[in-house]
Amino acid sequence: MVEYLIDRVGLPGWLAWTAAAALAAVLILNVIAGGALVFIWAERKIAARIQDRLGPTRTGGKFGWLQSLADGIKLLAKEDLMPDGADGMLFRLAPYVSFCASFCAFIALPFAFDFVGLRLNVAVFFVVAVLGLEVFGVILAGYASASKWSLFGSMREAAQVVSYEVPLGMCVVVPVMLAGSMDMVTIAEKQAGWFWNWYLFHDPFTFVIFWVYVTCAVASVNRAPFDLAEAESELVAGFHTEYSGLRWSFFFMAEYGSMFLVSAMAAVLFLGGWNGPVPLATLAGLSEGTGDTAGYLVRLLGMVNLLGKATLGVLVMMWIRWTLPRLRIDQVMTTCLKYCTPIAAVMFAGAMLWQLFLPGGLVPGMRRPAGEIREGWLEGPGGRAAASAPTGSGDLVLVPAAQVRP
Amino acid sequence: MASILDDDPRIIEFDVRTDEMLVNMGPQHPSTHGVLRLVLRTDGEIVSEVEPHIGYLHRCAEKIGENLTARQWIPYTDRMDYLAAMNMNLGWSLAVEKLMKYEVSEKARHLRVLIAELGRIASHLVGMGAYGLDLGTFSPFLYAFRERERILDLFEEACGARLTYSYITVGGLTADLPPGWLQRCEAFLDQFEPVIKEYHALLTTNAIFVKRTANIGVMSREMAIDYGCSGPVLRGSGVDQDLRRDGEAIYTAMYDGYAFEVAVMKNGRYPRDHEYPPVPPDAVIGDCWHRFFVRMIEVVQSMDLVRQAIDRYSACKGTIGEPLKLTEKIPAGDAYLETECPKGQMGFYVVGDGTAIPWRARARSSSFSNLSVTADLCRGCLIADVPAIVGSLDIVMGEIDR
């Protein structure tokens, strides 16, 4: 888009960049916030169906699909309350910290081939790191609320999230190792083709580590059965006990944003990203790499694919939440430190050895050998331009492995 | 507090000491089953002391009882254990009948058993569902309410009310069953029986549920007896006591001819235990899991009793008879009777002075005694265990505060 603005419209470079960035930001913010509204509605309907209820039925027609919007308006109109002893600045700041962290991570998330806010060469690292910032908002909220229950909730969340980032990091590193890149576009691109090319089915170790990732992801976004920070039967409402109205809804949006993010991460890292189980486009002789209309449509199809996978992940999380009781804090820690971390470590080592000795898989010729695509951004025509150009095939350069390896 | 922390072996694993904090759990707290207030002294996540405070729902019910006739007080007993109002009605009615040496007709006796056992199922369903809620799972609560709703529908048909029935009353019952009620009741039982398996799958055998309840809040047999616990709480500790079998003659006579086994673990086995999931290896007799499981067994047992009562009731000829009139004089003297209510042994004490109005009306609450163990059971547990323990006692504040 930047090229288009510079070349065709004739804007100066800085203005083109700013305009492109603003558009990307607005798109991401609105799509994800809108998505969060849809997920909140979906959660209410799903919870209702699981519990033999109907859920919202009136607002917005037959299925109550406007319920989230109506709730949003209600929350906007609510009185803004702050406890007497609260630390005013931190209390106001906390929801935005959580919200920003959750939504910022979407910058680096590719929705389809090159449909990405900012193509980062360290996208995986960026997403995990920024998502980890969300806990700051929670800690601030708990500390600033001047409520003991909030403090309990936020301390729990801090302990839990920090612990679960260890196994989560190990799980995330495995696809990075297999792809030889931290670039999420590259990682997903490497899983193109039939569904057995997905890293989930790469080897037995990745299959196991996917489930460890699912556990850790659920825990790191504080969903049941790991939702200790807001355990309503113990801590009233946990860290957001004292929040109401719009501030509270920011925490809510952050939670649903994070849920979607970790699901999309799982889709990109393990489930082939935007590549469907059957490579329809390739079978039809189309390629997403081409800049023409067909390629564009293929990418749109890929986006539907990725969103579908991520939505499936979110739905599974909802299903778990409405079925299982909540764990206790020591049991949550035990799950992390005694089970998830060692399993992740062993699986990481196993995947590494597999990659070393059986890089082509058990069946020769089943998948492309490792190292065929190496850090395209490095070889491309200038890192920045290549990373941000949404169209054009020149940004991903396929370099034979021999040329890159010293 | 230091001494308590030193004495408790569980504290050793958490050797990081922080400042203690006093936290109020309740009276407005989602998991305290009404308006119970627990003052927790916490050391991080560890609770070193729990002090229950009661009295937020005190409505002077007993004093009111000294200003009303015996039958007029029945609606006030409804509001004691509002989740098992039928059983409360029954307790007071039997106590007054004991004083008056009154005997209800055979048909009314079987109808009372039928209604009381249905009430027990309804109460245990709430206890079970709310316990799931305490442990953080919301859905079983609504499943339990779905079934309870059908019991309430039956009650509504019988007496017109859904929560505070005043159906069983001094000298019988206010009305006989409407036509077709027994068939609808049987239809409910047939529908309900297979559903119990679902509860076992969602709660009793659920790995997380077992982790949260097994070996938590273990109450020894001696401790349960010393504190005067009763009902499922007592039987969960392995004490073989059920007033339907061991109570006073006027109460056990009601269950005369009914076959049932007391839901208690004897020699490591529960009665009819082949029908239930096995006891998990982590569970210790007297822990939260066993208290919960006893209730689950009692639901099945009560279903059996309801079926037997339906047979006996329909075999009886004639009518259930009229209850005593509202202004019936009660003789001078006193009577105390305990009955087996869903929550435990509920006692009613009545002193008559020859007029229609009792000179004294008193209630002995089972939940009160059951709640009194909280402080002992919760010492040294984690915050998350407090709702798990209090929930397993299945208390109702209306009965404690009266």
Contact B384 A228 (CB under 8 A): yes
Q: Please check whether residue B29 touches A, CB under 8 A.
A: yes
Q: Is the pLDDT of residue A375 over 50?
A: no
* Residue keyed to tokens 């008056």: B100
In a domain, A403, yes or no: no
Residue B379, pLDDT > 50, answer: yes
User: Per the domain annotation, does A50 fall within a domain?
Assistant: yes
Contact A328 B385 (CB under 8 A): yes
* A243, A104: one domain: yes
**Nearest-CA residue of chain A relative to B204?**
A325
Strand partners, B43: B20, B46
Mean pLDDT of B13-42: 76
CB contact under 8 A, B382 and A326: no
* Residue A367 resides in a domain: yes
pLDDT in tens, A106-156: 888 888 777 777 778 888 888 888 888 888 888 888 888 888 888 888 888
The tens digit of pLDDT for each residue in B29-53 reads 777 677 888 888 888 788 888 888 8
pLDDT digits (tens, 9 = 90+) for B167-206: 998 888 888 888 889 999 999 999 998 888 888 888 888 8
A 193-232 residues inside an 8 A Cβ radius of B: 224-225, 227-228, 231-232
Q: Which residues of A touch B142 (CB under 8 A)?
A: 51-53
Cβ distance A328 to B146 less than 8 Å, yes or no, reads no
Indicate whether A329 and A253 sit together in one domain. Answer: yes
Domain count, chain A: 2
If one compares B278 and B220, the residue with the highest pLDDT of the two is: B220
| Structural domain includes residue A379 | no
* Closest residue of chain A to B206, computed from CA coordinates: A324
Instruction: Please tell me whether residues A54 and A84 are part of one structural domain.
Output: no
- Residue A308: which of A282, A335, A275, A281 has the closest Cα? A275
Question: What is the mean pLDDT of the segment spanning B230-254?
Answer: 87
Q: Say if residue A251 is in the same domain as residue A238.
A: yes
What pLDDT band is residue A373 in, cutting at 50, 70 and 90? very low
Q: Retrieve residue A304's tokens.
A: 């539907």
pLDDT band at residue B348, thresholds of 50, 70 and 90? Answer: very high
Region of A114 please: left (phi>0), alpha (psi -120 to 50) or beta.
Answer: left
Residue of B nearest to A324 (CA): B137
Which of the 8 DSSP states describes residue B184? H
Determine the average pLDDT of the residues in A250-254: 85
Helix (H, G, I), strand (E, B) or coil at B46: strand
Q: Is the pLDDT of residue B131 over 60?
A: yes
Interface of B with A in 57-116 (CB under 8 A): none
- The H or E element containing residue B52 is strand B46-53
B355-367 in b/e form (b: 16+ CB < 10 A) is ebbbeebbbbbbb
Specify the pLDDT at position A291.
60
Contacts of A232 in chain B (CB under 8 A): 30-31, 136
* Ramachandran region, residue A102 (left: φ > 0; alpha: ψ -120 to 50; beta: rest): alpha
> Cβ of B143 and A330 within 8 Å?
no
Residues B190 and B137 in one domain: yes
Are B387 and B261 part of one and the same domain?
Answer: yes
pLDDT confidence of A402, banded at 50, 70, 90? Answer: very low
Residue A266: domain span:
78-371
Judged against a pLDDT cut of 60, whether residue A174 lies above it is answered with yes
A162 and A192, same domain (yes or no): yes
| Residue numbers of the domain that contains B28 | 2-53
Q: What ipTM did this prediction achieve?
A: 0.76
Task: Give me the residue from B142, B212, B382 closest to A52, CB to CB.
Answer: B142
**Token pair in block for residue A94:** 């906390």
A173-177, A294-298, B11-15, range with the lowest pLDDT = B11-15
Q: Are residues B171 and B287 in the same domain?
A: yes
Q: Is A334 near chain B, with CB under 8 Å?
A: no
Q: What is the pTM of this model?
A: 0.81
* Contact in structure between B133 and B44 (CB atoms under 8 Å): no
The pLDDT-based confidence of A384 (bands split at 50, 70, 90) is: very low
The alpha-carbon gap from B16 to the nearest alpha carbon of chain A, in Å, equals 14
Of A64-78, A278-292, A392-406, B51-65, where does mean pLDDT reach its minimum? Answer: A392-406
Residues B273 and B319 in one domain: yes
Percent of chain A with pLDDT over 90: 1
Cβ neighbors of B282 (< 8 A, separation 6 or more) are: B210, B211, B214, B215
A233 in B contact zone (CB under 8 Å)? yes
Domain end marker among A28, A58, A74: A74
Number of domains chain B is built from: 2
Q: Is B135 on the interface with A (CB under 8 A)?
A: yes
Nearest residue, CB atoms, B208 vs list A51, A233, A324: A324
Identify the pLDDT of residue B349.
92
Amino acid at the residue A84: D
Tell me the pLDDT of chain A averaged across its residues.
78
Q: Tokens at residue A205, please? A: 């170790």
- Whether A45 and A187 share a structural domain: no
Q: Angle at Cα B219 formed by Cα B214 and Cα B220, nearest 5°? A: 120
The arithmetic mean of pLDDT across residues B313-341, rounded, is 86
How many Å apart are CA B139 and CA B147, to the nearest integer?
A: 13
Which of A233, A321, A327 is the best mutation test for B, with the most CBs of B within 10 A?
A233
pLDDT at A292: 67
**Interchain CB contacts (distance < 8 Å): A and B:** 82
Q: Tens of pLDDT along A331-351?
A: 888 888 889 899 999 988 888
Residue A374 has pLDDT above 60, yes or no: no
> What confidence tier does A242 reach under pLDDT thresholds 50, 70, 90?
confident
Domain identity same for A118 and A179? yes
A241-255, B19-33, B82-96 — which is least confidently predicted? B19-33
Q: What is the DSSP letter of A112?
A: B
